[in-house]
Amino acid sequence: MDVSIIIPAYNEEEGIIGVVDEINSAMSNNGHNYEIIVINDGSTDLTLEQAKRTKAKVIDHGINRGYGQSIITGMENSKYDIIATMDADSSYAATDIIKLLPYTQKFDMVIGQRTGKEYKGKLFKYPARAAFRFLAEYISGVSIPDINSGIRIFRKSIYKLLPKAHECKGFSFSTTTTLLFLAAGFSSLFVPVEYRHRSGISKINYFRDTLRALQILLEIGIHFNPMKLILPMCALPLAMAVFFALIFTANQNGLWFISSLLSFFMSMITFGIGMILLQIKVSSK
C-alpha cells in the first residue's frame, strides 16, 4: 500500500527525530511504499534543524500558519492518494499507522480513537469534550468516539470533494475533517489506539481553539442540515409563548399576552431563517 505520512511540527525539537525514526522502523518492516513529510510550521526552536537530520522530506513554512495549513501543505506536496497524519510529539505509536492502514480498503477515513490515562487528562476537559461530542453526533447523526484525534488515514481525492468553505487552517483541522467526512456521507471507522505522554509542551490555546471549533461545528451543521440546528432554536421561544399564554389566561394581564406574542413571533422568525438557509442549500446543489 502506498501512503504519504504527514507530520505537522511546531516547536517539537524534543520529539521530531524519534517520531520519524519510529515511523521509518515500523513502515520499512511491513513492505509498504511510503514517504514521510515533516512540515515545520514556523518553529522558533531547533525543530527545523532536527527534522533535516532525518530521512523525511522537510518543508518549512517560515512563519506559523497553523496545524491545518501544515497538513494541507503536506497533501499538496505528497505523492500518494492515501494520507496519514501523525503528531510530532511522540503521543502516538508509529505501529498504529500499520494497524489503521488495512481498514482504508473499506472506509474513507480511519481514525485512531485515543485511550489510556494520558487521553483522559485533567477533569476540566471533560465538560467541553462531552459537549463537543454531543453536538457533533447530533449534527452528523453518527457516533463519534474521538472527533479530534491526531492520528488518522484518509484519501486525498475524497478530501478534495469536501466544501472548502469550512476548511480549517488551525488546530481544529482534525475536528472539521472528521465532521465533514461524516456529514457529507463518507464512511469513517474509529479504531482504539493508545495515547502516550507527549514530549515537549502543548501549543493548544484551549479557550481560543474551543471557540473556533464550536464555530466550525455550527457552520458545518448549517451547511449540511440547517433545520436540524434551527428547530431546537425555535422550540424555546415557542414553549415560552405557550407558557406566557397560559399565565395570561389565568390572570388576564395584558403584559403576559404581549410577551406571548413576542415569543411566538421570535419562534416564527427563527423558523423562517431556517427555511431560507434550507432553500439556499437546495439551490446550491
Question: How far apart, in whole angstroms, are the C-alpha atoms of residue 44 and residue 48?
Answer: 9
Q: What's the domain range around 243?
A: 226-283
* Mean pLDDT within 175-198: 87
The cell 449540511 sits on which residue? 224
pLDDT at position 144 is 87
Domain identity same for 67 and 99? yes
**Encoded amino acid at 247, one letter:** I
For the chain, what is the domain count? 2
pLDDT at position 124 is 52
* pLDDT tens-digit map of 131-157: 777 877 887 778 888 888 889 999 999
Longest Cα–Cα distance of the chain, Å, equals: 81
pLDDT over threshold 90, residue 189: yes
Domain identity same for 147 and 249? no
Per-residue burial over 234-267, b if 16 or more Cβ lie within 10 Å, else e, is beebbebbeebbeebeeeeeeebeebbeebbebb
pLDDT over threshold 70, residue 31: yes
Domain identity same for 161 and 254? no
Domain identity same for 199 and 263? no
pLDDT over threshold 90, residue 272: no
Q: Give the single-character DSSP code of 81.
A: S
Global pTM exceeds 0.75: yes
Phi, psi angles (nearest 5°) of residue 13: -65, -25
The CATH number given to whatever domain includes residue 119 is: 3.90.550.10
